[in-house]
């Protein structure tokens, strides 16, 4: 490389200056908005943990974009081992460990040990099983994984083929894979790492089948780390992403385990007789699923915030073309190219992603709050809120993760050619986020659960066979909008100007009316026209989407409503006490709601709530909201408080030094150290004597 590169700088204006100018235009206090999002205690934890991991040499990310799979896996294993040391040293709890993992941003071989193995034993194990397995797992004396998915079955858990047959003579279970398709597949941490596994297998006893149940099994020797007799294990090979994790396969050949290895908090097999004792409530596991899906939606808000941060900052620094109508000038009068964020099409692509991120902040908070309320109720035997909570969490997981995947890609494309570079921070980010649309329930399959609940609720309200439903209407938003629709199915929108659509009450009526209309139509098709479930699956997906968009809008709007409760959450109090924050967040909320309406315009027109002329008013108001948000765009993403250490992005750097970083990172590409022999008649590939032994054909 030539020596003058280090003294070159990008053409003016400099990226750092452009971002500084943007931040000076802000109409609100960025630190106050960050406080309103996280709260003081959470911010203290974020800063404390970031300082630890960012300054630990084991977590250095400077070479990560140049690593092949073996190097990447080795780096991830070192990272995970070091993380365990820090967990013990600083006595981090589950939340603090999750924050550290978020900053490290590298799915590793211990991920499923923390994410599924430990929680499953904790949630479904007896006290004796916790002593035997949970305590050593927490101490990392054993490393586990969670083996449910098989080569032939994923979403259809009832169709799993691995069997666990009770043998009364020896008081054991025999674990067996009767077919190739019974092989456990895609199991994180299984390929090379785990020595124990929680496996889901079909329970068989006394000639009867009792469906899938969880069992703990040791799968590798604790000294040699080789697979135990009768167990075949391996890595599934290269993947679209997640290549720092050893997703594995596993087959069993009549492997025996003690009866006590069946997780038995809720259901058991009696010693000797093989009698099956069923759980007291077949929906007890739903609570755990609700929590997991709440955590996934929390992850969505981070993913959206991260994508928007990179794209917005880069769009300020990136300049293309001269706007002839409104040319940009430097202080000395020179005309320069326009920042691409000043083009309305770029705003239309990116500002809704900011709005989606904020919407998911408030919905994830609402989901966690609802889960905690349910746990209090269920401890007293009250499971009345579980059905609505489970159905809504299923649909929200589906909607939110699909929205995130689409928006990450939209943000990457909005960065043009440089968005294709790994240095953009989008490539591995997108690859590693993508599985969220499949695990913990395929996004299309999950909508079935949401729609079934909505159909059942609609029928109950219509038939008045469940009087309790009406008493719940004040707290159950689903029943609320169904009742409103049934009381006035021909209700229409009263808006006559674009600004009328900024009315939150009008917005919620629109979303509720649309969802209820779709539900009513589907129930009519199924009940009166005898349509098959399969023929209605497209409608099922639309209905779940409509219901969950209503929830997202409702949670965002509710968060902006001032509360006079003395114990109001600190985050909401900070928001409500600041007129400047309330003004900008109302703009963001309105953009989320109206942009969603604009995208789903066909359904709002179909249900008759709005007219074609009103649809033009919605579009006009969306354009006005882009203008409102433009001065605050950079500060709105700054408030997400995502550090450069996590972004790993040349384009999204806080200081705006995009081009300097792109060139610096490119200069470190190992390929640049190779000198080739390009003579087709020569067997030598590389002229460097020190590169792979002067490789030859």
Q: Where would I find the beta strands (DSSP E) of 79-236?
A: 144-147, 163-167, 172-176, 184-187, 196-205, 208-218, 231-235
The DSSP bridge partners found for residue 249 are 234
Catalytic residue among 440, 539, 568, 598: 440
Query: What is the C-alpha to C-alpha distance for residues 504 and 322, in angstroms, rounded to an integer?
Result: 39
For residue 548, the cross-strand partners are: none
- Length of the chain in terms of residues written: 697
Q: Known catalytic residue: 606?
A: no
- Dist. CA 598–CA 592, nearest whole Å: 10
Q: Are strands 172-176 and 163-167 parallel, antiparallel or unpaired?
A: antiparallel
Closest CA to 191 of 131, 258, 108: 108
Tell me which DSSP letter residue 669 carries.
-
Task: Yes or no: say if 211 and 233 are a contact pair by the CB < 8 Å rule.
Answer: no
193 is in an annotated binding site: no
> How buried is 95 (Cβ within 10 angstroms: 0-12 exposed, 13-18 middle, 19+ buried)?
exposed
CB 600 within 8 A of CB 47: no
Is 596 known as a binding-site position? Answer: no
Q: How far is residue 94's CA from residue 91's CA, in Å, rounded to a whole number?
A: 10
| Strand blocks (E) in 141-236 | 144-147, 163-167, 172-176, 184-187, 196-205, 208-218, 231-235
76: left (phi over 0), alpha (psi -120 to 50) or beta: alpha
Residue 684 CB: number of other CB atoms within 10 A? 13
Nearest to 511 by CA among 625, 620, 597: 597
Residue 519's Cβ-count burial label (10 Å; 0-12, 13-18, 19+) is buried
Q: Where are the alpha helices (DSSP H) in 157-263?
A: none
Supply 664's token pair. Answer: 């610096």
Pick from 149, 132, 150: which is nearest to 141 by CA? 132
Q: Which two tokens stand for residue 79?
A: 């990272």
Q: Where are the beta strands (DSSP E) in 188-310?
A: 196-205, 208-218, 231-235, 248-252, 255-258, 268-269, 276-277
Point out which residues pair with 165 in neighbouring strands: 174, 204
Strand partners, 172: 167, 258
Question: So which residues are the catalytic ones?
Answer: 440
Residue ranges of the annotated binding site for FAD are 149, 188
Residue ranges of the annotated binding site are 149, 188
């Amino acid at each position: 490389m030539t020596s003058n590169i280090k003294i070159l700088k990008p053409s003016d204006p400099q990226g750092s200056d452009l971002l500084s100018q943007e931040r000076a235009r802000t109409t609100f206090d960025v630190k106050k908005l960050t406080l309103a999002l996280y709260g003081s205690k959470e911010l203290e934890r974020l800063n404390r943990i970031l300082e630890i991991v960012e300054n630990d040499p084991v977590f250095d990310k400077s070479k990560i974009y140049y690593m092949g799979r073996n190097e990447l896996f080795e780096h991830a294993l070192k990272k995970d081992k070091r993380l365990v040391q820090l967990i013990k040293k600083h006595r981090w709890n589950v939340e603090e460990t999750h924050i550290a993992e978020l900053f490290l941003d590298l799915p590793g071989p211990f991920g499923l040990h923390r994410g599924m193995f430990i929680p499953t034993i904790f949630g479904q194990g007896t006290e004796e099983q916790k002593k035997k397995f949970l305590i050593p797992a927490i101490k990392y004396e054993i490393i586990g994984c969670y083996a449910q998915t098989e080569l032939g079955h994923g979403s259809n858990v009832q169709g799993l083929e691995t069997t666990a047959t009770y043998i009364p003579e020896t008081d054991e279970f025999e674990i067996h894979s009767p077919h190739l398709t019974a092989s456990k597949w895609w199991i994180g941490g299984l390929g090379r790492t785990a020595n124990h596994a929680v496996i889901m297998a079909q329970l068989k006893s006394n000639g009867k089948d009792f469906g899938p149940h969880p069992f703990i099994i040791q799968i590798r020797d604790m000294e040699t780390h080789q697979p135990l007799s009768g167990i075949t294990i391996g890595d599934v090979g290269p993947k679209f992403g997640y290549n720092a994790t050893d997703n594995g396969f596993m087959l069993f050949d009549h492997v025996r385990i003690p009866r006590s290895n069946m997780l038995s908090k809720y259901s058991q097999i009696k010693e000797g007789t093989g009698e099956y004792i069923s759980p007291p409530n077949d929906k007890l596991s739903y609570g755990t699923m609700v929590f997991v899906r709440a955590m996934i939606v929390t992850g969505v808000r981070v993913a959206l915030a991260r994508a928007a941060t990179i794209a917005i900052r880069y769009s300020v620094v990136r300049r293309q073309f001269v706007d002839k109508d409104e040319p940009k000038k430097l202080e000395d009068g020179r005309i320069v190219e326009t920042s691409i964020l000043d083009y309305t099409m770029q705003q239309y692509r990116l500002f809704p992603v900011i709005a989606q991120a904020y919407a998911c902040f408030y919905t994830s908070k609402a989901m966690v709050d609802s889960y905690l309320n349910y746990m209090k109720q269920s401890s007293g035997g009250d499971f009345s809120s579980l059905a609505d909570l489970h159905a809504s969490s299923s649909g929200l997981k589906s909607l939110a993760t699909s929205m995130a995947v689409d928006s990450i890609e939209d943000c990457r494309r909005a960065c043009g050619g440089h968005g294709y570079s790994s240095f953009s921070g989008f490539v591995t980010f997108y690859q590693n986020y993508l599985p969220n649309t499949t695990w913990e329930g395929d996004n299309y399959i999950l909508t079935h659960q949401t729609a079934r609940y909505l159909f059942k609720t609609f029928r109950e309200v219509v038939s008045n066979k469940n009087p309790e439903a009406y008493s719940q209407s004040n707290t159950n938003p689903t029943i609320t909008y169904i009742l409103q629709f049934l009381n006035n199915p021909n209700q229409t929108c009263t808006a006559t100007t674009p600004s009328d659509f900024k009315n939150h009450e009008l917005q919620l009526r629109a979303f509720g009316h649309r969802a209820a209309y779709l539900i009513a139509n589907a129930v009519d098709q199924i009940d009166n026209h005898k349509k098959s479930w399969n023929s209605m699956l497209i409608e099922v997906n639309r209905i779940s989407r409509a219901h969950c968009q209503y929830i997202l809008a409702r949670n965002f709007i509710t968060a902006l409503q001032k509360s006079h409760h003395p114990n109001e959450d600190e985050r909401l109090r900070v928001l409500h006490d600041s007129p400047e924050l309330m003004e900008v967040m109302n703009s963001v909320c309105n953009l989320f709601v109206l942009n969603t309406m604009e995208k789903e315009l066909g359904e709002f027109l179909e249900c008759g709530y709005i007219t074609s002329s009103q649809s033009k008013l919605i579009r006009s108001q969306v354009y006005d909201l882009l203008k409102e948000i433009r001065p605050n765009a950079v500060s709105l993403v700054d408030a997400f408080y995502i550090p450069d250490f996590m972004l790993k992005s040349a384009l999204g750097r806080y200081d705006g030094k995009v081009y300097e970083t792109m060139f610096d990172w490119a200069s470190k590409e190992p390929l640049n150290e190779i000198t080739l022999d390009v003579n087709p008649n020569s067997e030598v590939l590389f002229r460097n004597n020190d590169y792979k032994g002067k490789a030859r054909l």
